[in-house]
Amino acid sequence: MTGGDAALMEAALIAVADAGIDIRHVLFERFFAAYPERRASFISVDAASRRMTDETLQMIFGLAKGEAWVWPLVAELVFTHRSYGALPIAEYDAFIDMTVAELGAAAGAAWDDATAAAWQRHADALKAMIHKARAEWANAMPAGAPQIA
């Protein structure tokens, strides 16, 4: 746990909330601009954008706080995403980086080099967890392998 990181990160979250800024709209515009083919994967962009933005921020902040629930959530989300096909790992990484960038843009004066570094450290840890979960699921349940009913 990095208490200093968590405090910096929380201050940024509070600044964005106090400003009444919902980063999900610009985040998803940016994501779909980079990956336009992905838009068709969403039944409801409104619902998914709320959930994905909130969960991404919660997982990154949870890592900064040393929360034990992050790994099981990451593993479950990676498994659940398999139903959308083989999503490129670069899209996961990009979405996380875009989330941090949009949070920084919205945080204004509450975002400085130390805060950016704290968010990026734990965003990188989340990306590493996703990579690990992908590898573990691929090993445990290879795509196309027969499943016992």
Give the CATH number, domain containing residue 50.
Answer: 1.10.490.10
Residue 147 lies in a domain: no
145, part of any domain: no
Which residues span the domain enclosing 109?
Answer: 5-139
Residue 111 clears pLDDT 90, i.e. is over it: yes
End-to-end CA distance of the chain: 41
**CB-based contact 24:49 (threshold 8 Å):** yes
Residue 148 lies in a domain: no
How many whole angstroms from its chain centre is CA 116? 15
Burial 2-34 (b: 16+ CB within 10 A, else e): eeebbebbebbbebbeeeebebbeebbebbeee
For residue 125, tell me if it sits in a domain.
yes
Better-predicted residue by pLDDT, 50 or 89: 50
Type of residue at 72 = P
Q: Specify if 122 maps to a domain.
A: yes
Which pTM value belongs to this model?
Answer: 0.89
Specify whether the CB–CB gap between 104 and 116 falls below 8 A: yes
Instruction: Evaluate whether residue 20 is within a structural domain.
Output: yes
Q: Give me Rg for the CA atoms of the chain.
A: 16
Check whether 10 has a pLDDT greater than 90: yes
Residue 24 reports pLDDT greater than 70: yes
